[in-house]
Structure 1
């Protein structure tokens, strides 16, 4: 069975204003003392952020258990710092010039992106899926490209910025497009072509290093994986695991022998579809990789499930994936749930949504 790992980023927010608070390092130090979780907790770019990198997983229930245990601990400890730990792509409100985690590389990044740092207050889910070698990773990367819009639509969870509704499901998805290298990755011939072209991008000066390539998917430079990075941070662990299951099944499908492929859509069309998904999530039309048309969200998701069906059957994930997709399509993406919470309860209602998420995770892992 194909192995995978998940990285989740969270942001500590003031419980009243829902703006970032630079208290993550003290919380990280406490979590680092946990015998089970400590090795998997890391700092991030902003002093308000904390990251959890799961152990290597083979089953969805295993991944849910790992993520739930961390979220339970994070939710409990964050209260000691008078903060809400939020699984959201961007904070509800914020100021400019956010404090960074003290780190020489982060300081260099800030120097490179300059005023962009004011809006680069983003949190993501990154899914690592194991590949046999770098050439298999390129087959996966090329095959994933037309599916990135539907993945972003399902993972949209950042509707607010500076205390106002942006009108976008994933404002993070829009902000990330300002990065020096972002959006849809180009097609590559093989691993050598990828290595040569990405090194030239670094030498161009537009990005600091290979880890600052912000395509929706890329090859990992640390692990034998392809890294799917298109998702916002998620409200619920179940949402994160669902997205990881879809990513794993897609990688397995597009790297199968003989290969399973879709029509060769122009890169500019996929990139435009990615922008559309950042705006609308699943509330409107979504790009269908099979037809190349924009179709109702349910139809696009159904096409995705059909495409990856054999892989879902092989891993035993089909029933759980279909159940969770139906739940998400009925309840809405994280962005839609955030909007409902804010519409009915204002900022306290949104804070309660974040807090209840943590409580829910705690109950699941009790």
Structure 2
């Protein structure tokens, strides 16, 4: 069974770093964004910018949007003598400054020292749903696949001037937040709302938009939002992530329609799976959600592709085949960053390599 392509929609939000000639984050988002379209936006700190695509139906359409938006941000950065980086963390030492605004100031006052970890860049993928009840079912079906998506997207091995030993240091940084990490298995939309409400009572979240789960019901759009991924090094890789998430969501809806249920992965076990994916990335081991065994991440990723392949059409399958093969041959984002460091022997080479990838 396949889900009708006309009912499959998706969109992507990407976060980027602005850096100066020395590779240090530059507090220049207001200047870079001046005169930009509404789809290009500031983020919580002034050295970050964000792009938001419109609702898309096909991989080619999404890829065109991502390329255009990256090009606009690159042009704005160059006009100010800066460069745009698609990296989950800043490779060099960073002192982030909060973007002015009552909401951001409220978050900073409430969460205090955790604000040291907000200068990280993710890729948030939205997939359309007809209603929140369906969204809860999709969320439950996607939960076990989150580690595989993290392993594929891991693109933040360096932070504050050193190699962290992790493929995704961004993920570890965001996991420090009280609502960071994976959500629990949710029984219904009422259960979901109760969880969020009780977290708000404790102060762990200020409002639904402040919920940082790796996957959630979007508080603003009729979508399930997957937030587990690092920002992708290239627009092609970002599109690949979105295609795979869209395929997983379509597969989930088919399973829901046929009455299938998903065996809940215990919360602590899933957190452990995600830690392993953040450490190893694409070139290590990752738990296979179908067999619950530790396997090479590349094999587990191919298992994910087998899961979604029947749902991919309108060119998505061919695009995913080609792009996935290129990633497997060239290595994930974290491996490519480390290879750039090995070639040049310093982080300046990593910054230059990241800027080149982002600008391509």
TM-score if structure 2 supplies the norm length? 0.94
CA offset digits 1:215-248 (Å, max 9, x no partner): 1100001100000000111210001000000110
Which deviations, in whole Å up to 9, do the C-alpha atoms of 1:111-146 show, x marking residues without a partner?
122112123211110001000100000001111110
Structure 2 counterpart of 1:295: 295
Alpha-carbon displacement from aligned partner over 1:299-344 (angstroms, at most 9, x marks no partner): 10121111122212x4542222122112111111111111111221
Quote the offset at 1:260 in angstroms. Answer: 5.5
Query: Secondary structure at 2:283's aligned position in 1?
Result: coil
User: Which residue of structure 2 aligns with residue 28 of structure 1?
Assistant: 33
Counting only pairs closer than 5 Å after superposition, residues 36-115 of structure 1 correspond to structure 2 as 38-96=37-95, 98-115=96-113
Distance change (3 Å), C-alpha of 1:76 and 1:316: closer
Distance in 2 between residues matched to 1:269 and 1:347, nearest whole Å: 35
User: Structure 1 residue 83: deviation in Å?
Assistant: 1.5
The answer on 1:157 being equivalent to 2:155 is yes
**Residue from 5, 10, 13 that aligns with 2:11:** 5
Distance change >3 Å, CA 261–CA 240, structure 1 → 2: farther
2:248 to 242, 247, 250: 250
Q: Counterparts of 1:185-200 in structure 2 under 5 Å?
A: 185-200=183-198
Determine the structure 2 residue equivalent to 1:328. Answer: 327
For 1:217 and 1:115, the matched residues in 2 are separated by 24
Q: C-alpha offsets along residues 73-124 of structure 1, whole Å, 9 cap, x if unaligned? A: 222221222211101101112334x211101110111112211212321111
Q: 1:354 to 1:259 in 2, by over 3 A?
A: farther
SS at match of 1:25: helix
Aligned residue in 1 for 2:222: 224
Q: Is contact 2:92-2:347 (8 Å) kept?
A: no
Q: Residues 267 and 182 (structure 1 numbering): CA distance in 2 closer, same or farther, change over 3 Å?
A: same
Q: CA separation in 2, counterparts of 1:220 and 1:264?
A: 22
8 Å contact from structure 1 (residues 184, 267) kept in 2: yes
Superposed displacement of residue 297, structure 1: 1.5
List runs of 5+ in structure 2 lacking aligned partners. none
Deviation at 1:39, TM superposition (A): 2.4
Paired with 2:271 and 2:358, the residues of 1 have a C-alpha distance of: 34
Shift of 1:162: 1.1
- The separation in 2 between residues aligned to 1:53 and 1:43, in whole angstroms, is 11
How far apart, in 1, do the equivalents of 2:264 and 2:219 lie?
27
- Contact 1:263–1:290 under 8 Å retained in 2: no
For the 8 Å contact 2:12–2:53, the answer to whether it is kept is: yes
Partner SS state of residue 272, structure 2: helix
The answer to whether the 8 Å contact 2:185/2:264 transfers is no
1:364 corresponds in structure 2 to none
2:349 matched residue in structure 1: 349
8 Å CA contact retained: 2:117, 2:174: no
Pairs aligned (count): 351
Query: C-alpha distance in 2, partners of 1:315/1:359?
Result: 27
Deviation at 1:191, TM superposition (A): 1.1
Q: Deviations over 1:180-205 (max 9, x none)?
A: 11211111111121112211111111
Q: Distance in 1 between matches of 2:262 and 2:188?
A: 19
Per the alignment, do residues 176 and 259 of structure 1 end up closer, same or farther by CA in structure 2, a change over 3 Å counting? farther
Q: How well do the aligned residues superpose, as a CA RMSD in angstroms?
A: 1.4
Secondary structure, aligned partner of 2:165: coil
| Structure 2 Cα separation of the partners of residues 225 and 178 of structure 1 | 25
In structure 1, the gaps of 5 or more residues are: 33-37, 361-366
Change in Cα spacing, 1:316 to 1:258, as seen in structure 2 (3 Å) is: farther
2:126 maps to which residue?
Answer: 128
Contact 1:92 1:162 in 2 (8 A): yes
C-alpha contact (below 8 Å) 1:262/1:290 kept by paired residues = no
TM-score, structure 1 normalization: 0.92
